[in-house]
Amino acid sequence: MAEQQVLQQHPVLSAQDAVKTYGPTRALTGVTLSVAPGEVRGIVGHNGAGKSTLMRMLAGIESVDSGVVTIDGRTAPGRAGFPEVRMAFQETSLAGELTVAHNAYLSSRKLFSGLRWRAQARAAIKQRLQEIFPGNTISPDDYVDDLTLAGRQMVEIARATLWDDTRVLILDEPTESLTTDATESFYSYVAECAASGIAVILISHRLGEVIAASDAVTVLKDGADVGTYPAAELTEDDLFAAMGGEEVTAAEKKARARQEVGEITLRVPAETMDGSSSEIVVRRGEVIGLAGIAGQGQEDILEKIWRHTSGLTVHGRCSYVPGDRQRFGIFPLWTVGENLAISSIGKHAKWGIRRRRSENREIDRWVNALKIRGGAHSMMTALSGGNQQKAIVARAFASDATTILLDDPFRGVDVHTKGELYELLRDEAEAGRSIVWYSSENAEMQHCDRVYVLRAGRIAGELAGEQIEDSAIIALSFAETKVTS
């Protein structure tokens, strides 16, 4: 792929040799970037490549150590950042104990004034939610903590777009929690924003989406910009190569299928689409996938297994990797090592006394095995989303659980990190663990031995080995049900 810098005139946004350091970590090593009004610029790179750090610099939330950031001719941000820049964060910045309307007010107070600010905020966020995600059922009076992960992401995006004088809109992993329909609606709105002259920065690990939605794509690697390329000339393989990795082929995935498994470790009663009794069966050494359209009961099954609900057969202990890492996955005030150690204290203790050396060896093993950037002594909140996810997955496998439950564990994780984690799953299955894995990405199910496709909480079908293909999962996901509720 020939590198070709996209030429732009009169950029609304630019960064020149931007450098940012956190202690011993150089998050940005001299990034240069410029984006024109009305352009959609994709930003891709590994977790830890510096994407989120760069966005905070461009928004004016944090200052650069050296270099210059210019937004619409302005080089000095205000107390709350550059007023021309709005940003929707990957890990939503919403206040969970407040309503949707109150969150809209907090981020856009100057839009609402007088005694009617509540009514104004309610009307504004309701209208914007319907414009971006038509048909959504979110009420301005809903408390954020009561929303689904997808609902919170919708609110995060909607409130970032309330300002009519926005010049730059930054979207950090905006579609990771959204359904297919919501994603399509979102990208239609992005196109409308660009047509109105707003410069849009789109960060995503979904490379196909980035190429389809962007005018140009900038690749970051280890805190530096590798290059900027016209999206029309790119393929996903091009971006893999630019980021310094190689695609795992379908043949390689299939070659990992296991031939021998052990005794049954789980039985989960379920119904088929015609109403007959069946069950989800998991054996020792198997990787079992739960697939289908999001919200069809996959998370409910994981919850039932985790809680050992009556009627299930569960042999041995379980460890659970939740889908919402910020609310249920991490201990944000703890270090990486402390987050890892919490699941294995009992395994290393002797006569009820903790053995720190043994714990530390376990921590070092997983930090090194998964290349968790920052190391064991870094605070969890200082890590990128992908590195946080590595730590949560490592914590599950560091336990002595015989069954690992995974709720969409690789959401927001780059393709190279995913490759490392896929290999970990296979290795742990080879060692005799049972793994039950829900993913919102059908392609990930090819790493499983068997897949149960769910619809409305029922089993729509079971796939194994070579049968596990995207087309087969989609066909079963949309199969007509023969049972009415």
pLDDT in tens, the chain (485 residues): 333 444 445 899 999 999 998 776 788 899 999 999 999 999 988 767 888 889 989 998 888 899 999 998 888 888 878 989 999 987 678 888 999 999 999 888 888 877 888 899 999 999 999 999 999 999 999 999 999 888 999 999 999 999 888 999 999 889 877 888 899 999 999 999 999 999 999 998 788 899 999 999 999 988 899 999 999 999 888 887 887 654 444 444 444 444 456 799 999 999 888 888 899 999 999 999 999 877 788 988 998 998 888 889 899 899 888 876 666 667 777 888 788 877 667 676 778 777 778 888 888 887 887 777 777 888 887 777 777 888 888 888 888 889 999 998 877 677 777 887 888 888 889 989 999 999 888 888 989 999 999 987 889 999 998 899 888 887 887 654 433 33
One domain for residues 164 and 301: no
Q: Is residue 221 part of a domain?
A: yes
Which of 348, 376, 400 is at the close of a domain? 400
Q: Which amino acid is at 60?
A: G
Task: Measure the CA–CA gap between 447 and 442, rounded to whole angstroms.
Answer: 10
Contact 171, 202 (CB under 8 A): yes
Give residues with Cβ within 8 angstroms of 195, minimum separation 6: 38
Which of 400, 416, 442 is at the close of a domain? 400
Task: Measure the CA–CA gap between 363 and 365, rounded to whole angstroms.
Answer: 5
One domain for residues 236 and 367: no
Take residue 415 and report the two structure tokens written for it: 């393709």
One domain for residues 158 and 290: no
- As beta bridge partners, residue 33 has 15
Take residue 364 and report the two structure tokens written for it: 């070092």
Q: Is residue 4 part of a domain?
A: no
Q: What is the pLDDT of residue 281?
A: 94
Q: Is residue 7 part of a domain?
A: no
Take residue 202 and report the two structure tokens written for it: 């789109």
One domain for residues 86 and 171: yes
Q: What is the pLDDT of residue 403?
A: 94
Residues making up the chain, counted from first to last: 485
Give residues with Cβ within 8 angstroms of 423, minimum separation 6: none
CB-side neighbour CA atoms (13 Å) of 134: 6
Q: What is the pLDDT of residue 476?
A: 85
One domain for residues 282 and 337: no
Q: Is residue 278 part of a domain?
A: yes
Q: Which amino acid is at 7?
A: L
User: CB neighbours (10 Å) of residue 420?
Assistant: 14
One domain for residues 103 and 170: yes
One domain for residues 347 and 415: no
Give residues with Cβ within 8 angstroms of 150, minimum separation 6: 177, 178, 179, 182, 294
Which of 372, 266, 252, 269 is CA-nearest to residue 318? 266
Q: Is residue 279 part of a domain?
A: yes
One domain for residues 281 and 408: yes
User: CB neighbours (10 Å) of residue 370?
Assistant: 19
Give me the sign of the Cα torsion angle 195, 199, 202, 207: positive
Q: What is the pLDDT of residue 397?
A: 84
Phi-psi region of 417 (alpha: psi -120 to 50; beta: other; left: phi over 0): alpha
Contact 114, 159 (CB under 8 A): no
One domain for residues 143 and 272: no
Q: Is residue 295 part of a domain?
A: yes
Domain range enclosing 412? 248-316+402-485
> At 216, which CATH number?
3.40.50.300
One-character DSSP codes across 17-29: EEEEEETTEEEEE
One domain for residues 285 and 217: no
CB-side neighbour CA atoms (13 Å) of 4: 12
At 243, is the secondary structure helix, strand, or coil? Answer: helix
Determine the straight-line distance between the first and last CA of the chain, rounded to whole angstroms. 53
- Please give the C-alpha separations between residue 433 and each of 261, 281, 394, 425, in angstroms, as whole numbers: 10, 14, 14, 9
Which of 350, 324, 325 is CA-nearest to residue 339? 325
Q: What backbone phi and psi angles, to 5 degrees, belong to 227?
A: 165, 165
Q: Is residue 367 part of a domain?
A: yes
* Residue tagged 């990128």 (tokens): 384
Task: Measure the CA–CA gap between 438 and 460, rounded to whole angstroms.
Answer: 15
Q: Is residue 195 part of a domain?
A: yes
Phi-psi region of 216 (alpha: psi -120 to 50; beta: other; left: phi over 0): beta
Q: What is the pLDDT of residue 343?
A: 66
One domain for residues 97 and 198: yes
One domain for residues 255 and 229: no
Which of 194, 224, 243 is at the close of a domain? 243
* E strands present in 81-166: 85-88
> Count of domains in the chain?
3
Q: Which amino acid is at 451?
A: V
Q: What is the pLDDT of residue 260?
A: 54
* Residue tagged 């968790």 (tokens): 372
pTM as predicted: 0.65
Q: What is the pLDDT of residue 455?
A: 83
Helix H or strand E segment including 471: helix 470-477
Q: Annotate 167-186 with b (16+ C-beta within 10 A) or e (fewer).
A: bbbbbbbbbbbbeeebbebb
Which of 463, 458, 457 is CA-nearest to residue 475? 463
- Orientation angle between helical segments 385-398 and 356-369, nearest 10 degrees: 130
Take residue 261 and report the two structure tokens written for it: 């498994």
